[in-house]
Structures are given as structure tokens and as C-alpha cells.
Amino acid sequence: MTKSALHNELSKDQPGLPAGLEAKDRLAVALDFPSAAGAFDLVDRLEGACQWLKVGMELYYAAGNGLVEALRGRGYSVFLDLKLHDIPNTVAGAVRSVTGAGAGLLTIHAGGGAAMMRGATEAADVPGGPKLLAVTVLTSMDAAELAGVGVTASPGNQVLLLARLAKEAGIDGMVCSAGEVEALRKVMGPETMLVVPGIRPVGSDVGDQRRVATPEVAIARGASMLVVGRPITKAVDPGAAARAILQEIERAAAG
């Protein structure tokens, strides 16, 4: 999906995304693998259950833009989750470097500040450029973790502060936990894309995530897209696990 398609007329029924999308357009499966071989094996086993595939730092550093291009060649949209965080000039250069591969979404850290985010926005504002998402507070962090790095605000308040900063800098959407998505939706409005990781179907292992929710709850609270990793990638049948999550998304969207 191109950046222009992502910026089509938005629907109140599908917050932060173009109208008429199916449930599988709202699910991104995280390809958390150390090599392209493992990622492609998982993609084959998904049997087309989702449209978006998330490529994080581990896999991208191993396989580079060639992997992004190969996944797009198979008909998938790529969410490049690099969480860029550096001085403005360096981040802008990184955005330009990955734009040619055709990723539809790219993450940066809101904590890098307004100047850094504006630099990224300017670099992405080219034909075929990615839609930018600002990471607010990692879903692995709770209040105690934030306090440990000198942030005295609650996770929810810190998310709102960073989200407002990102929106003012021209960022297209945010990455946040399901615990903050409802408040963000009220503040950011229907046009902002809100992507929620830390999704765990009922009965799943929480793992190293702290702020989690079920797919149905996250969508009902206003999430545009869900990111799911281990509950799908570690399943005996990844395709079936993904389809079960799609059913939860459909129920929430219908409700």
C-alpha cells in the first residue's frame, strides 16, 4: 500500500485508516527472526492471513532493503519498525535511505524531540515515502521502568505528552499500548493512525510485555492496527492463529 493510499479519505468506522479495509488490513504480523530464511518460512505458513508484515531491527540489520523489496514482491505491505532515534540530520538521512525499498510504515522515537521528528517528516515527504509512526512509550515499560530513567510522569501522561509533540511535528500516527489508545484517540481525533503492539489473545503468555490487551479490546478502544508477534509466530499453525485474531478484530469492528 502506497503512502498516497494510506492518506485517502478516512472513515470514522476505521479510525486512522482509509475506508473499506478488511480485518486483515488491520493486522501486522511481527517477523521477529534473525534471518530472512526464518521470516519467509513464517510468511509461507501464514497463507495470506494478513496484509502487513512488521520487520524490526534484528531482521532488517540482517537482511536489509532487499528483504523489504522481496516481501513487497509477494504482495505484502511492509511496516519497517526501526525506531529511529538520533540527531535530526542523521534520522533524516536514515529515512531517505530506507524510502527506496518501499516500506509503507516506518517508526521513529518521539523521545528524539520535535526537531528530529520534523526532519524525518521532511525526508519522508517524497513520492513513495513511508507513513511515519512515532513510538511513545515502549510497551515493555511500566511506571517503575520510566522512573528508572528519570521520567516521573505515569506511562499514560508521558504517552500523551509525546503524542502531542509528534502530531505538532507532522508525524502521521503513533505507536502506543492498548492502555493509552482510548485517551489518544480522543485527543488525536479520527484521522491519526494508532498502532498497538503488546497484543495477547486470551490465554497467551505475556512474555516481556507489561501493558497488554486482547485484540478485541484494543480495536474497541480505537486502535487502527494491531501488531502481533509470538502468539502467531510461535503457534503450531500460524495461519490459524492469525485468522483467530482477525475474527476478534471483526467482532470489535462490528460492535
Residue 106 near residue 80 (C-beta atoms within 8 A) = yes
In terms of C-beta density within 10 A (0-12 exposed, 13-18 middle, 19 or more buried), how is residue 61 classed? exposed
Cα–Cα distance measured from residue 87 to residue 90, given in angstroms and rounded to the nearest whole number: 6
Whether 83 is a known active-site residue: answer: yes
Q: Residue 136 contacts by C-beta under 8 Å, 6 or more apart in sequence?
A: 110, 158, 159, 162, 163, 166, 174, 175, 176, 180
Given the residues 3, 24, 54, 83, select the one marked as catalytic: 83
Cα–Cα distance measured from residue 30 to residue 52, given in angstroms and rounded to the nearest whole number: 9
Alpha helices in the chain (DSSP H): 3-6, 36-46, 57-73, 88-99, 114-124, 143-148, 155-168, 178-188, 215-220, 230-233, 238-254
Residue 94 near residue 119 (C-beta atoms within 8 A) = no
User: What sign does the CA torsion over 159, 161, 165, 167 have?
Assistant: positive
Q: Looking at the annotation, which residues are catalytic?
A: 83
